[in-house]
Structure 1
Amino acid sequence: MNRKCPRISGLAAGLAMLGATAAGAADLAPIVEAPVAEVPAASSPWQIRVRGVGVITEDSGSVNGVAGSDLSYSDSVIPELDISYYFTDNIAAELILGTTFADIDEDGAVGVPVGRAWLLPPTLTLQYHFTDFGAFKPYVGAGVNYSMFYNQSERGGFHNLDVENAFGVALQVGFDYMLDEHWGVNFDVKKIFLETDWSADHDSLGALSGKAKIDPWLIGGGITYRF
């Protein structure tokens, strides 16, 4: 009789039992799925800011070309809404909306109050945003302003006050400090170079006209929201 047969049969049976045990363990083992990497959501290109702004005028002008004549304009504090669109992380366009009024006085040769004019000066700037400072995000900008004067009223003795609409150049510098992904605080300074023509009639002085050089500084702070 061949003595190898029982050994071979026993070995085969052992291997079969081991395979069955391994298969059963594989069936009972929990299925672990490979983790799926999360893709961060892209930031919206839209952003708004709400600011309180101090409007500080340059106080310069002329009346009928008279030497020593001068104009002054009252300063004011106004609310401002700004809407920004980011073309890239660094390049954005901002539309600046607000309205204010200025009391106009002749402070030179004549020395009389002239009237009041309301001003709507929408301004569009193209900005460069620096992105290497973490939550602190400074920017600079430049653009164009179109100032529209409306609801003009005269003081005693004056009639037909007309301050003409005009284009101007705007420069801007500021920063956002982001508190989280959406909310931040903002500080902003703008300089608008604005000169326009004006005219009015006076009961005693007759027809008056000249240049009004306003050139306001707009200094503001507020809240930023990035969608």
Structure 2
Amino acid sequence: MKKFAYLAATVAALAMTGTAHAGNPDGKLQVKLLGTAVLVDGKVSQVISDGARLVATGGVTNTDINDNVVPTVAVEYFFTPKVSVETICCVTSHHVTVSSGTLKGVDAIDNVQIIPATFTAKYHLPLGAIKPYVGAGPTLFLMINDRPSAAVRGLGVTRTKLSSQLGLAVQAGADVAIGNGYSLTLDAKKYWVSTEATFYTATGTALQTRHKLDPWVLSAGLAYRF
């Protein structure tokens, strides 16, 4: 988190000193500071095991995951004017809510944090000041700091674990040049990725489910190329 904050502050400082740091619109490296909406389409896709019969007795039958808005830093390297690779850095926090059954509306997992490590290859179509692009590549959703809610602990659950998983991302967007290497940027990504949620009791595994996440990730912000 400290490295992310430092990088974000560096990009912001560059944006405020445009004339002192004149960029290059044809440079090899581009850094973006973005505001990003993470819109998760989450639900249970499979009940793998239910040794404690939590689905039958506790009503944990399907779930929703809340949306979030976070700052994001993207770093992009151009091999040619039309071909580049990009990676992003952010941490987004969510909670998992039961959406059906007797516990409908109750949080099941509190404050899971996700690092969506994403690497995309992009193709750009230069059209003067406007440069639209498309891209695709792998992603690794790293799950950290999840914990069971008070309601689920009341069912005997002592610990939860969401698995980190590989997935796929596609993207489309555009950079609009505003001078001195700076651009306004819009970006949309669609992810296909799942996670396995395991609920533990003091005696072992109580419930294991597979969740489809598949978020839309929409970003807008400022780019600096040099």
Which runs of 4 or more aligned residues in structure 1 lie more than 6 Å from their structure 2 counterparts after TM superposition? none
How far residue 43 of structure 1 moved from its aligned partner, in angstroms, is 3.4
Residue among 118, 131, 149 paired with 2:113: 118
Bigger relative contact order, structure 1 or 2, given CA contacts below 8 A and separation 6+? 2
Question: After superposition, what is the alpha-carbon deviation per residue over 1:68-105, rounded to whole angstroms, capped at 9, x for unaligned?
Answer: 92111011000000000000000000011111011012
What is the match of residue 57 of structure 1? 40
TM norm structure 2: 0.76
Corresponding residue pairs, total: 184
**Separation of aligned partners in 1, 2:223 and 2:25:** 18
Cα pair distance change 1:168/1:200, threshold 3 Å: same
**CA–CA distance in 2 between the matches of 1:64 and 1:70?**
10
* One-letter amino acid matched to 1:177: V
- Aligned mate of 1:101, from 77, 93, 106: 93
- How many percent of aligned residue pairs carry the same amino acid? 27
The match for 1:129 among 98, 101, 124 is: 124
Asked if 1:174 is matched to 2:173, the reply is yes
In structure 1, what residue type is equivalent to 2:84? Answer: A
The amino acid of 2:159's aligned partner reads N
Q: Verify the 8 A CA contact 2:26 2:81 in the aligned structure 1.
A: no
- Runs (5+) with no aligned partner, structure 2: 1-23, 49-54
| 1:37 equivalent in structure 2 | none
Q: 2:162 maps to which residue?
A: 163
1:62 offset after TM fit, Å? 4.7
Deviations 1:101-136 (A, max 9, x none): 1101222235242112110111000000001x1000
In our comparison, the structure showing a higher alpha carbon Rg is: 1
Structure 1 residue runs of 5 or longer lacking an equivalent are: 1-40
Q: Distance in 1 between matches of 2:42 and 2:195?
A: 13
Compare 184-193 and 156-165 and name the one that shifted more: 156-165
Q: Whole-Å Cα distance in 2 between the matches of residues 189 and 139 of structure 1? A: 11
CA distance in 1, matches of 2:158, 2:37: 30
Query: 2:11: which partner in 1?
Result: none
Contact 2:186 2:219 in 1 (8 A): yes
Q: Residue 199 of structure 2 aligns with which residue? A: 200
How has the CA–CA distance of structure 1 residues 89 and 155 changed in structure 2, closer, same or farther, with 3 Å as cutoff? same
Contact 1:141 1:172 in 2 (8 A): yes
- Given that residues 202 and 208 in structure 1 are in contact (C-alpha distance below 8 angstroms), is that contact kept between their aligned partners in structure 2? no
The residue correspondences of 1:1-227 to structure 2 (distance < 5 A) are 43-62=26-45, 64=47, 69-111=61-103, 112-116=106-110, 117-131=112-126, 133-156=127-150, 157=153, 158-201=157-200, 207-227=206-226
TM-score normalised according to structure 1 size: 0.76
Give the root-mean-square deviation of aligned CA atoms: 2.1
Contact 2:63 2:96 in 1 (8 A): yes
* 2:25 and 2:225 in contact (8 A); partners too: no
Partner SS state of residue 89, structure 1: coil
